[in-house]
């Protein structure tokens, strides 16, 4: 797949999937090199920037937990609390978007 992925910090091309880290900033998914992320952004927590990467092991675990929690809310809550389960879709949508927009275009 031939989409060019550019690091938001150093503006160089990201060619390997292992070198890609995606994070959310201002409700947008941003790609970084792993080194650029570790240098500048890791440890930074704010309302607009989350300290967790969307891809990798932590992103996959978060997505599985979100799916399980969302299903639990749908089946075991009553009334209007069921609509809270829609909020659980947010991390799942971010993770899927990260995969579709960036990860699937890179070599393993």
59-81: pLDDT as tens digits? 899 899 999 998 898 888 888 88
Residue ranges making up the domain that contains 47: 5-105
pLDDT band, very low/low/confident/very high, at 103 (cuts 50, 70, 90) = very high
Q: Tokens at residue 38, please?
A: 């570790």
Domain count, the chain: 1
pLDDT digits (tens, 9 = 90+) for 2-52: 789 999 999 999 999 999 999 888 788 999 999 998 887 766 666 666 667
**Per-residue model confidence (pLDDT) at position 90:** 87
Q: What three-state secondary structure class fits 108?
A: coil
pTM for the model stands at 0.83
**Per-residue model confidence (pLDDT) at position 42:** 66
HSE-up (13 A, CA, CB side) for residue 16: 5
């Amino acid at each position: 797949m031939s989409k060019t992925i550019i690091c938001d910090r150093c503006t160089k091309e990201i060619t390997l999937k292992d070198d890609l880290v995606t994070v959310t900033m201002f409700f947008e998914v941003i790609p970084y090199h792993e080194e650029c992320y570790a240098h500048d952004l890791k440890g930074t927590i704010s309302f607009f920037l989350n300290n967790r990467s969307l891809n990798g092991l932590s992103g996959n675990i978060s997505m599985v937990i979100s799916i399980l929690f969302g299903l639990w809310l749908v089946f075991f809550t009553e009334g209007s609390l069921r609509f809270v389960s829609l909020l659980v879709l947010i991390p799942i949508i971010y993770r899927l978007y990260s995969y579709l927009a960036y990860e699937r275009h890179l070599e393993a």
